[in-house]
Structure formats: C-alpha cells, structure tokens
Structure 1
C-alpha cells in the first residue's frame, strides 16, 4: 500500500444530498471564481485528519473508532449557509455550513479521542463542521461576503436536511476523480 496517501475520518454525506449540492455547485461556479472545485462525490464533513498514516496506527485508530461509536445513533443535519476560511477579500476555502448539532460535536469528540489514543497528533484548532466546496479564490475583484447569503437563499430557501448514518475512513487518491475512497465504513444506528 502506498504510504504517501492521506487518510481521514469523516461523516459521509448521503448520495441524494451530494447530487443536490452538486447541482448547487454548478450554479455557484458561474458567479464565484475559485481555482479548484470539489467533485460532489467527495463532499463530506471531516472529523479527524490522520495524514500519511502508517498501517499499524491506522488499524489501531479504526479499532478505537469502531469501539467508541458502536452505540452512536445516526444524526440529522441541515446545510444552512455558505462561508469561507481565509481573508475576506480572497478566501482560501469556500464551504457550506451545517446547523449547530451537539450530536455531531459528540461524535467528533469520540472519533478525535480514538485517533489520539492510537498515537495520532491531530489538528488543535476548534472543530468547525463544514463541507468544503472549493479552494483558492482567483477572481479579479475581491470576494464579496454579502453575496453569500443571497446566493444560498436563491439556491436553497430552506436548510437542506439530510440523515448522516455513517462515519467513514477515507483514503485520498490525488490522481483520481472523485479522489476520496471509502476504506472502512462505521454505521451509526
């Protein structure tokens, strides 16, 4: 197995929701110039990024995650707005936000702790659940945040509700599209 591949645990977005978001992405592309757009099949909510994980540590993390989420229930989430990371006039990451969910926060804490127990040094910034849509602003004009609320309201007047019923260990395949491959699936009850 190629050790340069990166791995991460994420909440899987259901297929129907990916298709709706894929249609939204196509419309957003017409008005917002970003360098790289995420293939709709790759949409997810990252819980813990492992990086180039050695097989033994990855297996330990998988075992630990399975143990801590075995009793966790599926969760209902709603995509409710658009946002970004980076500078306001030239964002580096453009994303869709989910409504606040204590259940999602709890699942993330369990997965995060399970990966830490397996020896992974993980991201220390506070968890901000989001679904990455694009990266690197390339517009000639500065990015305008005021446009986001109107744009999302036109595309999706009500929050886009979906049931998340799986946590997945994904492997990144940089030379493929879609580039995230499900390696292990952990069902939520």
Structure 2
C-alpha cells in the first residue's frame, strides 16, 4: 500500500523551473541517471514530514503559517552542481545554492514549527539543494569531471527570488508527482 508523504519546501519560480528543465535535457545526454525530476517538481526541501496524521499535519500548517508571517521573499543564487552518495555511483545529482541567511531563517522557522507539531525530522545539517536526478546507472563509474562539464552547460550562476513556502503532498504514481496542498506567501 502506498502511503502519501508530505514536505515543506521553497517553491521555485516557474521561469527558474523552465530554465533548469531545459538544461536538464542537455545534462541527460552526458549523465546517465535512472530518474530525472520533472521540472514542475523542482524545489528546495525545508522539512520532510513523511506520512502525517491529519491532526499533526494541521498543527504543522498552523505553526508554519504563524512562523513565517512577515518574512520577506528570499533572493537566491544557484551556484554549483554536486552529488550525494558514493562518489563512484551517486544516489542524487543536485544544483545547490550559495549560503544565504534569509533562506536559513525560513528553514529554521519551518523546521521548528514542524518539531513543535510533533514531527521527528532529519537531523543532518541543512544543505540547500534542488534534486535534478536520482541513481547513477552509467556503465562506467561517475567521474567528478562530469560536474565540471555539466556546470558549463548550466546557467550558473542563476539568480532567483523565492516568494512561497509550500506544503507538498507526494503522489508516486503521477507525473509530476508533487501536489501543492497549502501555499504560504513570503511578504
């Protein structure tokens, strides 16, 4: 049985998703990953909730709404490509952002709001990124020089302004797979 999952994330502007989608098409030709993310699903995760009982989810929504009141939109710059997982066979290929105090503030507030609602969250340090693809399937091992080649294809640095935090619901059998359930404008 498929259980739906929820997560809070920064919603990327449509223009940014379009530009990244075009460049992902080029990257796909040089980087054999099993699954590439649909451009509409691109985001920066702030807090992954997993399966969420309705009362707990509603509490998190109320807490997040209150926590990010009067928080300004976040100006970001996508400035690097990287991977997570084994160096020779990465699990995740991502585009990352520069360190940004405004984004850290939003993340801290959303994270605390979810903890206060009773969620047990990931304890690893926050590394803001946009997942582009999953699971290396190349015949040869992954080489770091592919990141340099990929970087030359990417519009890096790419500047954007994030204006919304969103609660997404996952639908694994659909494409795109993430549904916006609640939008919290940054004002």
Decide whether the 8 Å contact of 2:13 with 2:162 is kept in 1. yes
Indicate the residue corresponding to 1:172 in structure 2.
170
**1:38-80 C-alpha deviation (Å, 9 max, x unpaired):** 0000000000000010110000000000001011100111111
RMSD: 1.2
C-alpha contact 1:3 1:54 (8 A) present in aligned 2: no
Contact 1:3 1:52 in 2 (8 A): no
Size of the aligned set, in residue pairs, is 187
Give the Cα–Cα distance (whole angstroms) in 2 for the partners of residues 58 and 98 of structure 1.
28
Give the secondary-structure state (helix, strand or coil) at the position aligned to 2:126: coil
Partner Cα distance (2:100, 2:11) in 1 = 16
Structure 2 CA distance for aligned equivalents of residues 132 and 154 of structure 1:
17
TM-score by length of 2: 0.97
Match of 1:27 in 2: 26
Is 1:124 aligned to residue 133 of structure 2? no
CA contact (8 A) 2:31 2:146 kept: no
Aligned counterparts, 1:129-148, within 5 A: 129-148=128-147
Distance 1:150 1:106 in 2: 33
Structure 2 match to 1:103: 102
